[in-house]
Amino acid sequence: MSAAATLNDRSRPETVMQRTMILLTLTFVTMLYAMTVTIANVSLPQMQGSLSATQDQIAWVVTFNIVATAVVTPTAGWLATRLGRRRVMILAVVGFAVASILCGLAGSVEELVLYRIFQGAFGAPMVPLSQAIVLDTYPRRQHNTVTAIWGVGVILGPIIAPALGGALSEAYSWRWVFFMIVPFTVVALVGVLAFIRDREVGKPVWMDWTGFLALAVAIATFQLMLDRGERNNWFQSTETLIEAGIALAAAWVFITHCITAEKSFLNPKLLRDRNFALGLVIVLLFGMLNFTPITLLPSMLQDVQGYPDSVIGLILSARGFGTFVGFGVMIFAGRLDPRIPMVAGFALQAWAGWTMTGFDANVTSWDVLWTTGVQGLGVGLLWVPLSIVTFSTLAPELVPDGTAFFHLLRNIGSSIHISLSIALVVRASKETYAGLAENVSPYNESFDLPWVRGQWGMESLGELSALSNEIGRQATVVGYLDAFVFFWITAALAIPLVFLVRRPKRD
């Protein structure tokens, strides 16, 4: 499952210009994929209204895209050895472009979710293959430098996409957040066709299809259960029970196959390494925190305050800027014990989440802007040291398999936490609305006191409608606050795990 065999020095491009163009092309490809991770979040409220979807339904646009990416990513190395990395990159970029166009043309939420699955599946090989080609193109002594340059694409995507997508969505419609990706894919395709070559063909990578398919079914059905659970009243629904049964059966097949098979998708030897096993748990929690705020905030800002898409896009860009600052700090803090920035990263995310629990119906754009930036700073501080400690003690021959599972859990964590957070918002909003509505009654003496009643009344249908809207707005805020409590608790729970990690030995 590694991303193809490493090239030898003689097969690398001869000139500095050739290497530079390969690096720039693959950095752009990485930025293209990173853009789509956050670009749809900006226009979720507009999509919800246009497609007549509920809040939990429109969240599928985000969660199933992440799940598709998670499931297909481990196959990148196998595809590269079968088809060649150049062909895989071409197919990925072209398929990504077509899927993006179809997303913009979708006529229902079901169609949009389907096309977002295709978009995630085609985009999945882009990042691992781009990184593999960059490392093969340059000698080992330059790997730190070129990896830092390549990583700029990961950082720039979440900064550019929300701001540009928000402006286009407000000026035209939500469909343009997908159409705007097409010119970027054209540039990426031209670069891949012009500069990416398969210098050598590595030995075919073996793929455990039994384990992979069992895990894919378990993940997909479990995610479907989470996304539809609140709508179906959870385990009181036959559908939820069926989905849970399929997920458990597939998980049982996966686990027993990994234990008994001679070669399996997840090598049991991986879990014997303490740092790697802890790293998997921590990266799962990291994934849970990664995209949850930027999925919740657009809907909250528009439902509660009526913010336009352009403003929401700028606010979400603050997260990308915070991540950029965090990566910059890690350039100079690289010699520190990696556990220090990890604790700082989770603490910053917990602080940001705790601050968000103080939002109310009059929340300002500045309040959301700086807390989102702090959350992004925590992400930037976490990623590099988390990767270091997870793989620092792992045997080199196990690293490719470990990397695939590491990124798989990161993406799965994101989709699970988003689904649970949306379910929490929906349930808490309904319960709060029901509790507040009980006080709207002719028998409530507060309505007889003008200084208590204020502008609200029950004398006409218009007054009742206005009062109902305000109760709904306040109940919605409570729902989001409960989700933010869930967020900061998740971040806080990760901190004690960091202290269980052994400090990597310095070479």
Q: Among residues 270, 289, 290, which one has the least CA distance to residue 280?
A: 270
Give the count of alpha carbons within 13 A of 87, CB side only: 10
Residue 318 CB: number of other CB atoms within 10 A? 24
168 Cβ partners below 8 Å, 6+ apart? 176, 177, 180
Whether residue 74 is predicted with pLDDT greater than 70 in this model: the reply is yes
Q: Answer yes or no: are the C-beta atoms of 54 and 228 closer than 8 Å.
A: no
Both tokens of residue 413? 């964590």
Give the ranges where 106-237 is alpha helix by DSSP (H). 109-123, 126-137, 143-171, 176-179, 181-195, 209-229
Q: Looking up tokens 């491009």, which residue turns up?
A: 13
464 Cβ partners below 8 Å, 6+ apart? 440, 458
User: Crossing angle, helix 16-42 and helix 109-123, to 10 degrees?
Assistant: 160
Mean per-residue pLDDT for 9-33?
A: 77
Q: Among residues 279, 276, 251, which one has the least CA distance to residue 265?
A: 251
CA distance 312 to 266: 40
pLDDT averaged over the chain? 83
> Helix, strand, coil proportions of the chain in percent (round to 5)?
80, 0, 20
Q: Looking up tokens 């080992």, which residue turns up?
A: 140
Q: What is the pLDDT of residues 303-325, one digit of tens each?
A: 777 788 788 888 888 888 888 88
The length of the chain, given as a count of residues: 507
Q: What is the pLDDT of residues 376-390, one digit of tens each?
A: 899 888 888 888 888
Q: What is the pLDDT of residues 154-169, one digit of tens each?
A: 777 777 888 888 888 8
Both tokens of residue 359? 């939002």
Residue 262 CB: number of other CB atoms within 10 A? 4
Q: Answer yes or no: are the C-beta atoms of 30 and 127 closer than 8 Å.
A: yes
Distances in whole angstroms, Cα of residue 497 to Cα of each of 186, 400, 405, 474? 44, 24, 19, 36
Cα-based torsion angle of the residue sequence 456, 461, 464, 469 in order, rounded to the nearest 10 degrees: -110
Q: Which of 68-77, 142-151, 222-231, 366-375 has the highest mean pLDDT?
A: 366-375
CA distance 449 to 340: 57
Quick one: pLDDT band at residue 201, thresholds 50, 70, 90?
Answer: low
Quick one: pLDDT band at residue 262, thresholds 50, 70, 90?
Answer: confident
366 Cβ partners below 8 Å, 6+ apart? none
User: Crossing angle, helix 309-332 and helix 339-356, to 10 degrees?
Assistant: 160
CA distance 101 to 108: 14
User: Crossing angle, helix 365-391 and helix 339-356, to 10 degrees?
Assistant: 150
pLDDT at 259 (0 to 100): 84
Residue 90 CB: number of other CB atoms within 10 A? 17
Whether residue 94 is predicted with pLDDT greater than 90 in this model: the reply is yes
CA distance 167 to 401: 41
Burial zone of 165 (CB within 10 Å; 0-12 exposed, 13-18 middle, 19+ buried) = buried
pLDDT at 133 (0 to 100): 83
% of the chain at pLDDT higher than 70 = 90
- Does the pTM surpass 0.85? The reply is no
Whether residue 450 is predicted with pLDDT greater than 70 in this model: the reply is no
157 Cβ partners below 8 Å, 6+ apart? 30, 31, 32, 33, 34, 35, 36, 37, 38, 320
Whether residue 477 is predicted with pLDDT greater than 60 in this model: the reply is yes
Distances in whole angstroms, Cα of residue 230 to Cα of each of 59, 258, 265, 303? 13, 33, 32, 20
User: Crossing angle, helix 309-332 and helix 292-300, to 10 degrees?
Assistant: 150
SS (H, E, C) 304-315: HHCCCHHHHHHH
Grouping H, G, I as helix, E, B as strand and the rest as coil, residue 504 is: coil
Residue 9 CB: number of other CB atoms within 10 A? 7
CA distance 31 to 408: 20
Mean per-residue pLDDT for 227-252?
A: 88
Whether residue 405 is predicted with pLDDT greater than 60 in this model: the reply is yes
CA distance 20 to 25: 9
